[in-house]
Structure formats: C-alpha cells, structure tokens
Amino acid sequence: MLSFTSVTFTFPAAITPSTYTSLTTPLTKEQVLQRNHVRIVGQGMPLVLCNGFGYTQRLWQTLVTVLAHNYQIILFDHVGTGLADLSTHDAAKYAHLMGYAQDVLDICRVLDLQQAVLVGHSVGAMMAVLAASRAPSHFTKVVLLTPSPCYLNEPGYYGGYERAELEQLLALMQTDERGWTTLLVDLLLGPLAPVSLAEEVHQCLSTTASLMARQFARVTFLSDHRAAVPSLRLPTLVVQSQEDFIAPAQVGDYLVAHIPQAQLVTLPTAGHCPQLSAPLETLAALRTFLV
C-alpha cells in the first residue's frame, strides 16, 4: 500500500535529452502520443501546454483558439486524467511529480521539439520546472501560470495552507467526491465567480478513476519542490491572479526571487484559472513574453 507523506525533491544536475532517454527504455512515438492523448493544433513556434491537477485539455481551449493562428500548440492529458491511456498508470512512477515531468520530456523527445515554450498551469507549472531544468535544450522559455512549489506553510514560507487543512481536504475527496469537486471549484474560482464559469471549470475537470485521482491529489498538495526552483535557468514568466485561494501572491514573489531569469505579471482577476476567468489578459501577458 502506498504511503503518502510530504515529499521534498532532491533535484539532479541538468542532463541532455539524449542522456535522459538512456535512463529508461524509450517508448515509441505512437506509444507516447497514445498514452497522453497528445493533440497538435496550428503551426509555428511550438507551445507545450501542461495541465494541472485534475484538468483535461479543455481548460486551454479559449487560448488555443487564438494562439493556434501563430503557434503550434501541443496539448495532452496526464495519465490518470482525461482521455489518456489509463492502462499505463504506474502508481510508483506517479507517486512524485517527476513521473509526470518525464512524460512531458517523452512528448518533447518523440516530437523532436527544439526551442519550444513550455507553459505549465497550477501543479503543471512545477512539472514544467522539473522538465525544463532536467532537459533545457528542448525549450527556449517557460511560462508558469498560477504556480506553487509548495502549498504547505513552512517556517519562512507561506504556501497558503496548514497541513491539517490539506489532510481534511484530501479526506473529503475519499468520502464525498461530489462535495470535494464542488469545494475544489469554489477554491479555484473564488466565491464570487459567475455560475457559467463554474460550470465550465466542472467540464474541464477529469472524471477518471478515484484511486488515481486521490494519488494525484496527494502528490500535488503535499509535495515540496522549492529545492528544484533555482535549477530553472531559462527565461521564465510567472503569471498569477490578484486573488488566488490556491496559490497566494506570496508564492509568486517567492518564485521570482528564486528563479534566476524570472519576471512576474499579476493579472487583475480572481481565481486559479485565469485562462478562463481572464483570457484576454492572459493572452496579452503570453504574447508580450513570447515576442
């Protein structure tokens, strides 16, 4: 039985994509694309969009509709969510975020991506940090959208939650999935969000196997990846919302202070999903950074 505890990730030295592929038995292109239900839209500079916990590709659709005119958009689902191949779920591999980051690098490898921009949302932003730090030659820039390396309050660090609060949240997931989902949407959007926006977020959340979702939730909320943050050496844009109940403003300040080439943009919106609540402002921040 898996035991979930707070995880501190000891980050290895950066390695090249060729070295990375030698660490495991590489999957074929077809296997990787099927495993993560990879879709490619548009042409131009490649943008890899990395989902956060529980989201499917649908979360990005408003941005994709516009960005696909000028960029090649690579969308995918994490194993255990959306239309990814559930049979490839490995509890040991996905017991830490590096398992998900390896999948991102697999996608980059089989698509032979060079000079791509990696955009990670929520905990997907930490997957982006791990992937771009481990194999930076795939990427030219990184965008971290409402990121957090650690949701727990620790001495000298404000993540937003005490451990007991997160344990209660995770316990609710195990006993009342409907109540958990409703609470999660409230946390993602804030109490004043329009009903139409809440309904859209519900549509973007995955309805996959509960056991996989519970493991993903614990890995998301109880991990601590602050030690990995300084290893990201690429130009990085940190985008946060003015009011975010999941990743408070202090987290954005922390990341900009610890990522060597980071800049911060705070959007005048509430909630953890600005690609839905403030798509025009999010697009403007992305375009300015990508020029």
Active site residues: 122, 244, 272
Q: How far apart are CA 144 and CA 17, in angstroms?
A: 22
Secondary structure (DSSP) of 115-157:
SEEEEEETHHHHHHHHHHHHSGGGEEEEEEES--SB-B-BTTB
Sign of CA dihedral 42, 35, 12, 214: positive
CA distances from 264 to 112, 235, 251, 257 (A): 30, 11, 11, 10
Buried residues in 277-288 as b, exposed as e (16+ CB within 10 A): bbbebbbebbee
Residues in the chain: 291
Q: Give the type of residue at 282.
A: T
Residue 202: CB partners within 8 Å, gap ≥ 6? 181, 185
Asked if 115 and 140 touch (Cβ cutoff 8 Å), the reply is yes
Strands (E), the chain: 7-8, 39-41, 45-50, 71-75, 116-121, 139-145, 223-224, 236-243, 262-270
The pair of structure tokens assigned to 17 is 């994509």
Q: How far apart are CA 249 and CA 239, in angstroms?
A: 10
